[in-house]
Each structure stands twice: as C-alpha cells, then as structure tokens.
Amino acid sequence: MDTTSCDPRYYELLEQLQTLDFALVELNLYLDTHPADLRSIQQFNQLTQERTRLAKQFQELYGPLQNFGRAYSKCPWEWSQSPWPWQV
Amino acid sequence: MSTQPLTSQALNPQGINPQLPNSEERFYAPFRGPFDPCPPILCKTYVVPPQLFLGFQPPNLPQFSLPEALRFGTLWPALFSPYSPQNRGGN
Amino acid sequence: MWIYEKKLQYPVRVGKCDVRMAKYLIEQYGGADGELAAALRYMNQRYSIPDKIIGLLTDISTEELAHLEMIATMVYKLTKDATVEQLKEAGLGAHYANHDSALYYENAGGVPWTAAYIQAKGDPIADLYEDIAAEEKARATYQWLINMTDDVDLMDSLKFLREREVVHSQRFREAVEILKEDREYKRVF
C-alpha cells in the first residue's frame, strides 16, 4: 500500500470527480440522440468547466489522470506510478 | 394443478406489500406437470424496466442531484430501474 | 485514438472474500453478453452506420470499456490473495492450471471469448436491434449476478452496471427512432 491509497482526501476528491464525470457521460449520450437540446448543452458545458477545474486540482495532488500529453508530470515520471484504478 | 386465478396473495409469496408493488415486476405461474420431480416454483417474476415505456426521452425531465445520479446509475429518475436480489421464482 | 483515464467510472468495493463470485463475474468480462463483447460490437458497427448514430456507438462503446475495467477490478480483488485451495473450492482450479490468477477473456464456464458472439450485419436497423438485445441480455446477467451475492458493496457496483444497461438500451431505441424519422435526404436520381 502506498501513501495515496491511505489518504481519505484522495477518495473524497476521486468520488467528486466520478460524480461530475458521470453526469457528463449521461448528458453526452443524451445529446447524441438529442442534438438540438440547448439547455442540456448549456448544462454539459457548465459541468465541463467544473470538471476541468476539479481535474486540475486532483492532478496537482495525486498525479496525472491522462497520459500522452494530456497532463503535466513532475520528476520522477508520474504516470507509471501506483496506484492504478483497480488497486485502490 | 391449480387453475384458480392469480390473486395478489398468490402473487406475493415473499410478503411484498401489495400497496407498494414494484411496478416493474411481472408475474406468471409456470405450468405444473403431474410428474415434476422437484417441489414447484409457483410463481416466477421478470422485470419490465422503464426504457420499454419511455419512448423518445422528452427534454427537461427532472434530474437527480449529481451525487444521487452516480449512486443510481442515471441522471433521470424516469430511467431509474430499482432492482433487489431475488430468489429464483421470487419465493 | 483513445486516451486512458486513470480512474474507475464508479467506485468498486468488494466487502467479502467470496472467491466463487469471481468465477461468476467473469461472465460479464469475457461472456457473450459481457462488456468486452459490447465494446467491440459497437465500436465495429460504427463504421457502417448512418453518421447520425456514429457518435452514440462510439460513446457507448467507450463507456463499455470503463465497465470492463470495473468487472476486472472485482475479479482482481477477489482473486489476488486467494490460495490454490480457495481457487479450487471456488471452481477455479481449471482456471488456475491455465492462468494462475491472471484474468482471461472467458465466460463463467471457462469458454474463451469469440468474435462469433457479436454481429455486424451492415443493416442499421438489424444492428441496432442486436444492440438493444445485447443491453437487455447484459441487464438480465447483472440481475442473476446480483441474486448470487450477499456482498452489499459488490451488489452496489453491480446495480450501477445494471442501470447503465437500461440507459444504453434507451439510447439505442432512440437511435432506431431517429433512423425511422430521417426523411431529410431524398434519393436524387
């Protein structure tokens, strides 16, 4: 077990992110079949903004969420560090 | 072999309150043969979830709060299908 | 191109060391109506479907990969510390002989995944009806899995996955309606 997987704040922030991202998945699928629903597009865009902010905060604390140039890294290379999602 | 109509009593061997039926549950009585070797399952259930009835989702449906949406697995109460573990045949 | 995100879609907790449940859960990993089959089915059908439906197939397919990772997480957690004895008792002796505690794309009976589980007919209605059926079959599988566990934590994640099948089925049904209504483009000779 490493330090991250014992940190209650990690789970708290992770769940906040999962909550926002889930609403975005739901709205995304809905908009795939309802492309002219302006109100839902506005909600999607607003949640995207919140998500971007939260993901930035999460990544500063716990390392990159995405690879291939979608997030910055400290030294040593953070991407390949544990924990992986199925381990926590 | 029973030919009597299925009363709510007969349909609720689990003692589910008939005032609060799970509206997604449907029941049927499997055929009972005279030489069936095992004790019969009198009543079987299946689920008819909301996507069978909703049609094309109308805009502006009420939404769960975002934490609720994650818990329930959908953003919209109209699409939420509750499911609890059941014994085979609901008995 | 796909970008991996280092998090689960939904938190997966396993509260009970019930190794036998791992054997059953593998049905949704490498079974005919499992998450791998779903992801590959939709991701492949999208190349020959009207443009209006491509986004939906892409997105649901991608979400299925997230569900595959959730099932893998459950199986991983249930088997990582299991002894050979426990694996044998759980009916996973044959699995151990071939794979140790590695995951494998097979169904609950140990039959390896095959592309024969999925279809791409090239007819949009036939393909979407297959997709609706696949979601209903996966929903039923989750019901049987929920019936087989008394671990409330595991049940919680399985209920989430079951509900996603409901939503996906809804969207595929809407896709059929979109194709039925689409009279925008008249055939021009």
Query: Is the pLDDT reported for residue B75 higher than 60?
Result: yes
Q: pLDDT digit string (tens) for B4-46?
A: 333 333 333 333 344 445 689 999 999 999 999 999 999 999 9
What ipTM was reported for this prediction?
0.95
Catalytic residue among C27, C63, C64, C106: C64
Domain parsing of chain C, residue ranges: 19-109+120-180
Mean pLDDT across C82-103: 97
Contact B83 C162 (CB under 8 A): yes
Cβ neighbour number for residue B23 with a 10 Å cutoff: 10
Is C95 labeled as catalytic in the residue annotation?
no
Contact C166 B72 (CB under 8 A): no
Catalytic residue among C5, C27, C35, C163: C35
Is C64 labeled as catalytic in the residue annotation?
yes
Interface test mutation site (partner A, options B66, B71, B72, B79, max chain A beta carbons within 10 A) = B66
* pTM of the predicted model as reported, rounded to 2 decimal places: 0.92
Q: Between A and C, how many residue pairs show a Cβ–Cβ distance under 8 A? A: 64
How far is the alpha carbon of A79 from chain C, nearest alpha carbon, in Å? 9
Closest of C59, C174, C166, C162 to residue C128, by C-alpha: C174
Q: Identify the CATH class of C19-109+120-180.
A: mainly alpha
Burial C89-117 (b: 16+ CB within 10 A, else e): ebbbeebbeeeebebeebbbebeebeeeb
DSSP code of residue C113: P
- Distance between CA C170 and CA C139 in Å, rounded? 12
- pLDDT category, A5, cuts 50, 70, 90? confident
